[in-house]
């Protein structure tokens, strides 16, 4: 935690009357949770400030808040805050250059610096927990409502795999305690997150019947457009099942392949053994050491990645002996 930089960010938020918060493309619980949590803190503390959240609509996260659509003029004289986004081109709204100042708040290994202030803390398992570092640092001034607590808890839950992933520590729970102190009610959140449609339930049946394993311990599944069509699920929904492959004791690595717009094949990669981010980098991807993604482009290349992952699993098991 960089207290000086948090103080700089606090000073800018205090100074600007107009603040625009943007998430990354294809947003998840952490970036929308951070954005709406930060908006709530700013509005609860300074009700007269204008605060906007820019991002795509995501049905299952719509309970966190409503995103805004704004004209170019609104950017004039504004502070732009990008959350949970490592690269400039991944920012949802590319009009950030029209803002007076830009702050980046993120927890991914920096691919580039693009803010006037860049706050990157890779030791925090979610950006919501960085927002909470800011909140706790200036607790005497900042306020939060139960809506903000809900948003920040949701992002913390989704990015830590419900407190299971590495990076969760005492600070995580000290921050979560602050959310309870500010009116957090968790029941509603679990009610929303634990919902599953008929379609996805049936797709899950298919998924659990059709995964494959390599010799040395890589579990994987290839989700083709025809499967998506047959079961009437979205790609996001289908991909959310990735960790269903993480239960095998003999498979330290698991991968979900799916085809995106324009026939582009991507991989979601997970590990409970060796670090896999370098492998992801080799295939035009990146992310965290145990959870990352790769851009294969074509189905043909998936077999290369599977072979590389299998080699990694083999080495890992040999080292354990
Ligand atoms: Mn995140």
**271 and 252 in contact (C-beta within 8 Å)?**
yes
Supply the angle between the helices 29-45 and 127-137 in degrees, to the nearest 10. 20
Distance 319 CA to ligand 1 centre (A): 31
The pocket of ion ligand 1, defined by CB under 5 A, consists of 30, 84, 159
Domains of the chain: 3-193 (3.90.1640.10), 199-320 (3.10.310.30)
Sheet holding 79-83, edge to edge: 50-54, 18-22, 79-83, 101-106, 117-120
**299 and 259 in contact (C-beta within 8 Å)?**
yes
Distance 127 CA to ligand 1 centre (A): 5
The one-digit pLDDT tens for each residue of the chain (321 residues) are 999 999 999 999 999 999 999 999 889 999 999 999 999 999 999 999 999 999 999 888 999 999 999 999 999 999 999 999 999 989 999 999 999 999 999 999 888 899 999 999 999 999 999 999 999 999 999 999 999 999 999 999 999 999 988 899 999 999 999 999 999 999 999 999 998 899 999 999 999 999 999 999 999 999 999 999 999 999 988 998 999 999 999 999 999 999 998 999 999 999 999 999 999 999 999 888 889 999 999 999 999 999 999 999 999 999 998
For position 172, what pLDDT does the model report? Answer: 97
For position 165, what pLDDT does the model report? Answer: 85
Secondary structure letter of residue 207 according to DSSP: H
Q: Secondary structure of 66-99 in the HEC alphabet?
A: CCCCCCHHHHCCCEEEEECCCCHHHECCHHHHHC
Dihedral class, residue 213 (left if φ above 0, else alpha if ψ from -120 to 50, else beta): beta
Distance 31 CA to ligand 1 centre (A): 6
Distance 215 CA to ligand 1 centre (A): 33
CA separation for the pair 280, 296 (Å, rounded): 10
- End-to-end CA distance of the chain, in Å? 37
Q: To 5 degrees, how large is the angle CA 129–CA 133–CA 135?
A: 110
**68 and 43 in contact (C-beta within 8 Å)?**
no
Task: Tell me the torsion sign for CA atoms 43, 48, 53, 57.
Answer: positive
Distance 83 CA to ligand 1 centre (A): 8
Q: Which helix (H) or strand (E) holds 202?
A: helix 198-210
CA separation for the pair 312, 309 (Å, rounded): 5
Distance 119 CA to ligand 1 centre (A): 14
SS3 call for 23:
coil
For position 58, what pLDDT does the model report? Answer: 87
Distance 165 CA to ligand 1 centre (A): 12
Distance 42 CA to ligand 1 centre (A): 20
Distance 30 CA to ligand 1 centre (A): 5
Distance 82 CA to ligand 1 centre (A): 12
**193 and 60 in contact (C-beta within 8 Å)?**
yes
């Amino acid at each position: 935690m960089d207290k000086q930089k948090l103080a700089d960010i606090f000073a800018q938020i205090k100074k600007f009357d107009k603040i625009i918060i943007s998430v990354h493309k294809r947003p998840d619980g952490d970036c929308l949770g951070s954005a709406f949590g930060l908006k709530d803190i700013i509005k609860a503390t300074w009700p007269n400030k204008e605060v906007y959240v820019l991002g795509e609509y995501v049905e299952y996260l719509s309970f966190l808040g409503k995103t805004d659509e704004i004209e170019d003029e609104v950017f004039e004289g504004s502070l732009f805050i990008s959350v949970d986004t490592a690269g400039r081109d991944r920012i949802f709204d590319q009009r950030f250059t029209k803002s007076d100042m830009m702050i980046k708040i993120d927890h991914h290994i920096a691919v580039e610096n693009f803010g006037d202030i860049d706050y990157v803390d890779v030791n925090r398992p979610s950006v919501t927990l960085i927002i909470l570092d800011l909140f706790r640092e200036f607790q005497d001034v900042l306020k939060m409502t139960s809506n903000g607590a809900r948003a920040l808890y949701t992002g913390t839950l989704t990015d830590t795999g419900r407190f299971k992933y590495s990076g969760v520590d005492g600070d995580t729970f000290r921050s979560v305690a602050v959310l309870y102190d500010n009116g957090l009610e968790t029941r509603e959140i679990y009610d929303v997150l634990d919902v599953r449609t008929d379609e996805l339930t049936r797709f899950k049946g298919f998924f659990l019947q059709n995964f494959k394993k390599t010799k040395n311990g890589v579990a994987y599944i290839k989700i083709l457009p025809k499967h998506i069509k047959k079961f009437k699920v979205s790609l996001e929904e289908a991909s959310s099942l990735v960790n269903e492959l993480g239960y095998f004791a003999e498979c330290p690595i698991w991968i979900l392949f799916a085809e995106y717009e324009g026939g582009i094949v991507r991989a979601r990669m997970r590990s409970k053994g060796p670090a896999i981010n370098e492998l992801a980098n080799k295939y035009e991807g990146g992310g965290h050491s145990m959870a990352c993604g790769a851009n294969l482009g074509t189905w043909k290349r998936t077999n290369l990645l599977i072979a590389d992952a299998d080699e990694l699993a083999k080495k890992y098991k040999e080292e354990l002996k």
